[in-house]
Structure 1
C-alpha cells in the first residue's frame, strides 16, 4: 500500500512516489545519493516532459539497510498512434528512462532479501498505477546495471567512451596520436573555443543542429522544439553550458554540455560540415575536458555509436580515450504479462506489424 509522504518521514522507512509538483523534495532526495547525476534531477526530466516524453516520476525506497531511487517517464499508451481509438485513455501505461541514461541507484547494504523487497514494492506500485512494462537505459559510468540482474532482463549492447579528468596531462596522454595532431591543427588554423549561456547561442545552436539532423536523415524525435531548449537554458542553468568553436568570426561547431556531481556529459552536438577539415569538434571536446578538469569534474562521458554499434561515430569518440572500457546496458521488465500480451495482440492485426522484432516493448514497435 502506498504510504503518504508524512508517514514516510515519520517512519523513516518505506516508499514514496514523487512528481514534479514536489520538485524541491525530488531534488533533495536525489542529492542524498553519492552517485547522483544530472539525469536524475527534476529539471532534466521536466525538459523531456516538454518534449512530449511523458510525465516524470521519482520512485524512492528506503529500509533499515539501503535506499534506492529510480526516475522514469510515465507514458499513456493510448497516445501511441497505433492505439488511437483501440484502448481507453488513462488506463494503460508504460515507463522508460528519460532520454540519456538512468535506472535505479542503490546505496547502502545491498542483500538478496533487500533487493527482493525493493522489487516487490516497486512492482506493486507499478501494477497499482496501471504500468505494464518498463524500459531502462542504465548509466555506463555509474555501472548501476551490475546489481540489478535479478530485477530486470538486462542486455549489454555496446561500448561507450569516457574521458577521465584527473589532470590535463592525463587527458592529453589518453588521446590517440592522430587526435592530438588534429587538435594541434585546429589551433594552428585559428579555431577558437568559447562557452556561455547567452540565449543567442541557443538560436545559433538550433539552426546548426537542425541542419545537422537534416543531413543525417534523423527521426522526428531528435528534432527538439524551442520550449525544450528554453527548459534546458532556464531550468538547468546551473547544470548546462554551450561550448562552441569559432573560425574567422563564424560559429562552425557547437555542443550542449550537461554536468553535475563531478560528471560531465556530451548531450547534443552540431557542426557545419563545410569546415569539418579543420577538426573543430576535436578541439571543442578537448577543451570541454580541460574545463571539466579545472573545475573539479572527474569524468566526461561522450557516449557511443548509433544504436550502440562500433560505427564511425563510436570511432570518432574512441580517439578521445584509447583506454575507455565502459559498456552500455538496457533493462526490460514486464509488470503485467496479460495486459502486455493483449496490447501485442491488438498490434498483430496490422499487416506490417513485425511480431519477431527485438524492440521493447513490442507493442510500440513501428515500421
Structure 2
C-alpha cells in the first residue's frame, strides 16, 4: 500500500503516525499546520506498507515559482521540491528492515515524487531517533554536528548530568529569586511574541524567523496537547520564556527568548532545569535542546552542553535528487543572475 496524504484529514494522518512506535511531535498534523501557516509549503504524509514492513515520511511540498529567485521565471504549480518541516523528521521505518524492503520503499517513494513533480528533497533527520543510519543507501547523508539531549530517567540523573558551572548558575537564579511557571494561554503568547521578535532583532535573524500571528495561533490551538509555555519571573516581571513541545516520551526546546537586561540572573538555566524535571515527573524520557547555530560548536552549543556534558546525539541531513534534468534546468535559470554562485553549499543549489 502507498498513500500520500494532505493535511485536511487530521485524524487519519495522526492515526497512521501514531501506529509507529517511535513517532514524535514533528510528524503530527497539528505540528505541520503551523508551518503551512508560515508559508513553508503544503504538508504531505507519505505512507508505505508491504507485508511485515512499513514506513512514513512527512515533508513540505514547495512550489519553486514562489521562491523570489524564480517568481515569473517558471510556471507556478509545476516545479516542486520537498523539505522536512522546521525541526527534525525523516523516514520512520518499522518491521522487517532488509535491504530488499528498503530498495522497494525507495523505488515507490521516488516514483511517487516524480509523479508529484518533486525534483529533489532535503531532509533534517531526527537526532534522538537516529533515523539516518539505515537510510544511507537512500540519501546522500552528511553528519553536521553534535546536539544536546537530556536523559530524563530521574531528577537526580538530570542534575548529575549538568556541568558544575551550570549547577552554579541554577543555584544563582534560585538564590536571586527567579521563579519558574508553566501554562498555556493567549496572554502568555501575547507576551512571548514581542520579546521573541526583539531577540531576533538583536541576533540579526533572517526574515524567516519572524513568525506571524497565524503561526502562534496554530501552536496555541492545534498543539494544545503537545506544548507548554515555560516562563521565568523575577520581581513580578516575566524575563524569559520558552515554548516546549512534547509527544510520545520526547520533549523539545522549540522557541525561546530572554530579556537581556536580566541575562546575568541565568533565568534560562533554571527554566530548562525545571522543564526537564517536569518532563521526568510526567513520564518523558528525553529532552532535546538542539545544537549550535549552523551546527557549530559555538556559544549557544556550549550553553546547551552544560545540561548534559555526555550527550551523544548528533544532527544529520539528507539530500536526494529525483529529477536531475529539471534540477540542472533550474540551476541554468539561476545562472542568469550574476550574483548566483553555482558552487554554494546550499541544497538545493538553485535556492542558494
TM-score by length of 2: 1.00
Tell me the secondary structure at the aligned position of residue 147 of structure 1: helix
Tell me the secondary structure at the aligned position of residue 71 of structure 1: strand
In the alignment, which of 240, 260, 265 is matched to residue 227 of structure 2? 240
Alignment partner of 1:327 is 2:318: no
Structure 1: how far apart are the matches of 2:97 and 2:57?
Answer: 16
Give the match for residue 286 of structure 1: 273
Tell me the secondary structure at the aligned position of residue 20 of structure 1: coil
Give the match for residue 10 of structure 1: none
Tell me the secondary structure at the aligned position of residue 310 of structure 1: coil
Tell me the secondary structure at the aligned position of residue 352 of structure 1: coil
Alignment partner of 1:117 is 2:104: yes
Tell me the secondary structure at the aligned position of residue 269 of structure 1: strand
Q: Matches of residues 79-98 of structure 1 in structure 2 within 5 Å?
A: 79-98=66-85
Give the match for residue 355 of structure 1: 342
Tell me the secondary structure at the aligned position of residue 109 of structure 2: helix
Give the match for residue 171 of structure 2: 184
Task: Flag as ranges the 4+ runs of structure 1 deviating above 4 A.
Answer: none
Return the offset for 1:86: 0.9
Where structure 1 has 5 or more consecutive residues not aligned to the other structure, the ranges are 1-13
Give the match for residue 48 of structure 1: 35
Structure 1: how far apart are the matches of 2:66 and 2:11?
Answer: 30
In the alignment, which of 288, 298, 314 is matched to residue 301 of structure 2? 314
Listed one character per residue, the Cα deviations across residues 150-208 of structure 1 (whole Å, up to 9, x for unaligned) are: 00000000000000000000000000001101100100100000000011000110011
Q: Matches of residues 20-99 of structure 1 in structure 2 within 5 Å?
A: 20-99=7-86
Structure 1: how far apart are the matches of 2:251 and 2:314?
Answer: 17
Structure 1: how far apart are the matches of 2:93 and 2:168?
Answer: 42
Q: Matches of residues 175-254 of structure 1 in structure 2 within 5 Å?
A: 175-254=162-241
Return the offset for 1:304: 0.1
Structure 2: how far apart are the matches of 1:333 and 1:65?
Answer: 26
TM-score by length of 1: 0.96
In the alignment, which of 122, 134, 155 is matched to residue 147 of structure 1? 134
Q: Matches of residues 333-348 of structure 1 in structure 2 within 5 Å?
A: 333-348=320-335
Q: RMSD between aligned alpha carbons? A: 0.4
Moved more, 84-93 or 258-267: 84-93
Return the offset for 1:53: 0.1
Listed one character per residue, the Cα deviations across residues 41-71 of structure 1 (whole Å, up to 9, x for unaligned) are: 0010110000000000000000112110000
Listed one character per residue, the Cα deviations across residues 185-244 of structure 1 (whole Å, up to 9, x for unaligned) are: 100100000000011000110011001000000000000001100000000000000000
Listed one character per residue, the Cα deviations across residues 257-300 of structure 1 (whole Å, up to 9, x for unaligned) are: 00000000000000000000100000000000000000000000
Structure 2: how far apart are the matches of 1:152 and 1:60?
Answer: 18
Tell me the secondary structure at the aligned position of residue 234 of structure 1: helix
Where structure 2 has 5 or more consecutive residues not aligned to the other structure, the ranges are none
Alignment partner of 1:256 is 2:220: no
Structure 1: how far apart are the matches of 2:121 and 2:52?
Answer: 26
Tell me the secondary structure at the aligned position of residue 309 of structure 2: coil
Structure 1: how far apart are the matches of 2:245 and 2:186?
Answer: 16
Moved more, 15-24 or 237-246: 15-24
Structure 1: how far apart are the matches of 2:9 and 2:116?
Answer: 19
